[in-house]
Amino acid sequence: MVSAWSSGFLPSKHQGVLFRTGKDPIFYLDNPEGVSRSQRGDVVGSISRMNSLAFDRYHDPEIETRIAQYELAYRMQTSVSELADLKRESPSILSLYGLNENGEGGDFARNCLLARRLVERGVRFVQIFNKGWDHHANIYKALPISAKRIDQACAGLITDLKQRGLLEDTLVIWGGEFGRTPMVQENNAGSGAKTPPGRDHHKECFTIWMAGGGVKQGFTYGATDQFGFGVTENPVHVHDFHATCLHLLGIDHERLTYRHQGRDFRLTDVHGHVVKDILA
C-alpha cells in the first residue's frame, strides 16, 4: 500500500506523511527522555548542515528528501498532538461524523474528521484509505457493513467543510482504482477456491463521486448498459479524470512534466482531456 501515497516519478521529498490509527498517529515525534526541544533543534540543524554539504558534493535528490523530512518532523512535534486530539471537537461534530462522545465509530469516521482538521490548517492534499472494500467473497454480508462504515462519515465531512466555508476551495474525490464485476461468483478469481458469493475486479467501468472545488452539484455524467458491465454514454478515461482534477487545481496537465530516468513524464502521459461538462 505504500505506493498509494508515494510521489511516483516526482522526487521523494514530495511523498506523503502516513498517519496511523491509534494513540500515536506518527511514530518517533517525541523527544527521548532527557532531551529538550531546543536540544533536538540543535541536532536537526547540525544534521541539515551536514546533509547540505553532502548534497552540494553528490547532488543526490534523496539527500534533499532527508533534509526536508528532518525539518518537517521537528515542526510536527508541536502540531501533531494538538491536531490529532479529537476531544477538542464538540459533541455535535463528533455525532455528525458518526463518532460518539467516547470517540468510537470506526477509524474511517475518525480519519474523515482528521482530514477536515488538516484542511483547516492549510494541508493541501489529504488522502484517506478504507481497506475494507475488496469483496471477493461473502459480499451479501460484507458490503452493507462497508457501506455503513463510510456513509455517514463522508456526508459528515462534506457538511462540515461546507458549514466552515471550506468546501468551495476543497475538491473531495471518492473512488477506487477499478470497479467490481456486476455479477457475483462463487470461485475467487485469484485463488480459484470456492467461497461465499463475491465480486472480483472489473476494469470496464466504475463510479467516482466528487464534491466542492469547482464541480457541479447534483449532477451525474456518463452511463452504463443495463447490467453495469460497460460504458455506453460519455466515457471518461483515467487520463481524462486526472486531467480534469489537475484543471480544478489550476494546473494544465499538458504542461505538468518532470524529467525522470531520461525522459519527460506527465501524469496523463500523452493522453487526457478535461471533462468540461462536470465543471461548475
For residue 97, is it within any domain? no
In this structure, is residue 273 part of a structural domain?
no
Structural domain includes residue 72: yes
Domain of 31 in residue numbering reads as 16-84
- Residue 37: per-residue pLDDT: 81
Q: Report strand pairing: 209-212 vs 171-174.
A: antiparallel
Residue 71 domain flag:
yes
To 10 degrees, what angle do helices 107-120 and 139-163 make? 20
Domain annotation covers residue 269: no
The predicted-structure confidence for 216-255, as pLDDT tens digits, reads as follows 999 999 999 999 999 999 999 999 999 999 999 999 999 9
Low-confidence residues of the chain: pLDDT under 50? none
**Within a domain: 76:** yes
What pLDDT score does 190 carry?
A: 64
- Which amino acid is residue 164, in one-letter code? R
Residue 16 confidence (pLDDT): 83
What is the reported pLDDT for 155?
A: 95
Q: pLDDT value at position 75?
A: 79
In a domain, 78, yes or no: yes
Report the alpha-carbon angle 130-214-171, nearest 5.
20
The domain total for the chain is 1
> What pLDDT was estimated at residue 70?
80
**Cα end-to-end span (Å), the chain:** 33
Which residues, other chains included, contact 36 with Cβ-Cβ below 8 Å and sequence gap of 6+?
A: none
- For residue 59, being part of any structural domain is answered with yes
Q: Could you tell me if 7 and 15 are in contact, meaning their C-beta atoms sit under 8 angstroms apart?
A: yes
